[in-house]
Amino acid sequence: MDDYQQDFKNKIFLVGAIILILIGLVLVLFFLPKQSSQQGKKDNPLVEKNRIEKEIAQLKEEKSNLEKKSSEVSNQTEAKEDLEVEGVEIIKKEDKKIIKNTKQGYEIEVPSKMLIARTLTNKTLNLYLPDQKDFICCPGWPQCQADFEISVQENPNNISLEKWVKDKKTSYLKEGQGADFKELGFQKIGENNWYKAEIFVEGLFPVPTFYYALPGKEKIYEVFMIEWDEVFKDTCPHKLLPKETENFLTTFKLI
């Protein structure tokens, strides 16, 4: 469920790598002998050195901004509107809205009060139902797991859904004692045939969570929803029950 954070960290790492490469170019240019004036301003090592140093400064600022955004978004606790995510369009329809993820090839309709929060990339959209004070996390729930999460995983080798789920189950059960992965089989929801399971993994899914998987073109679409009727029903009575959130999947379409 943290793949989106890893993708963002990879982007920050890439920017850092580019900075190191440019610094190396500056050092090379600095030690090059001066060229004759006939070579022109464009080929002058000093001009090139100044240009690259300017690019380094811009990239450092971009890296700093990415790190700041990552920290702010990952620790978000309140929301009044959807976070803007590249490649994701929000189409409002009275008390509902369509979330259209053009980058990952799907759309889904959810209540307008469900908001995208704590989301860094279009590969994983985290949806929360805030309370009356706009808090998205329940008291005493430091993990702040999304009420409804849509995650897209690459599947270039077109692994069968059965094997995908089996591998997922093996991976989760290795997390530690008390881990549980109960397969509930294929279920027709809307126009799609989802594979459903119930999972519990201490530290990762510390409360019962429903898991759904759907194959796409070289992708696997995964959905996670907390069983709010089992936890925090006293402190977070506004949260939707699993039957209500599962109903969102009747509108899920591959585009």
pLDDT digits (tens, 9 = 90+) for 197-237: 999 888 787 788 999 999 999 999 999 998 877 666 677 88
pLDDT score of 8 more than 80: no
Supply the pLDDT for residue 150: 98
Query: What's the rounded mean pLDDT across residues 89-106?
Result: 97
Supply the pLDDT for residue 35: 47
Q: How far is CA 196 from the centre of its chain?
A: 21
Torsions phi, psi of 113, nearest 5?
Answer: -75, -15
Query: What's the rounded mean pLDDT across residues 172-195?
Result: 92
Q: Where are the beta strands (DSSP E) in the chain?
A: 88-93, 96-101, 106-111, 115-116, 124-128, 148-154, 180-189, 192-201, 205-216, 219-226, 253-254
Cα angle vertex 122, ends 119, 127, to 5°? 45
Which residues are CB-neighbours of 186 under 8 A, at least 6 positions away?
Answer: 193, 194, 195, 196
Among the residue ranges 17-21, 40-44, 116-120, 123-127, the one predicted with the least confidence is 40-44
Grouping H, G, I as helix, E, B as strand and the rest as coil, residue 74 is: helix
Grouping H, G, I as helix, E, B as strand and the rest as coil, residue 232 is: coil
Helix (H) or strand (E) holding 161: helix 161-173
pLDDT score of 38 more than 50: no
pLDDT score of 127 more than 80: yes
Nearest by Cα to 110 from 208, 194, 225: 225
Q: Are 220 and 211 in contact (CB under 8 A)?
A: no
Domain regions of the chain by residue span: 3-74, 88-254
Supply the pLDDT for residue 182: 95
Q: Which residue has better confidence, 15 or 38?
A: 15
Supply the pLDDT for residue 37: 45
Supply the pLDDT for residue 68: 77
Query: CA-to-CA distance for 134 and 220, rounded, in angstroms?
Result: 32
Q: Rounded mean pLDDT of the chain?
A: 85
Torsion of CA 142, 147, 153, 158, to 10 degrees: 140
Please state, in angstroms and as integers, the Cα–Cα distance from residue 134 to each residue in 9, 82, 113, 124, 182, following that order: 28, 12, 10, 22, 34
**β-sheet bridge partners, residue 222:** 151, 213
pTM above 0.85, yes or no: no
Q: Which residue has better confidence, 22 or 58?
A: 58
pLDDT score of 165 more than 50: yes
**β-sheet bridge partners, residue 182:** 198
Encoded tokens for 19: 């900075």
37 CB neighbour count, 10 Å cutoff: 8
What is the CATH T-level fold of the domain 88-254, as seen in this structure? Answer: Protein Transport Mog1p; Chain A (3.40.1000)
- Residue carrying the six token digits 């490469």: 21
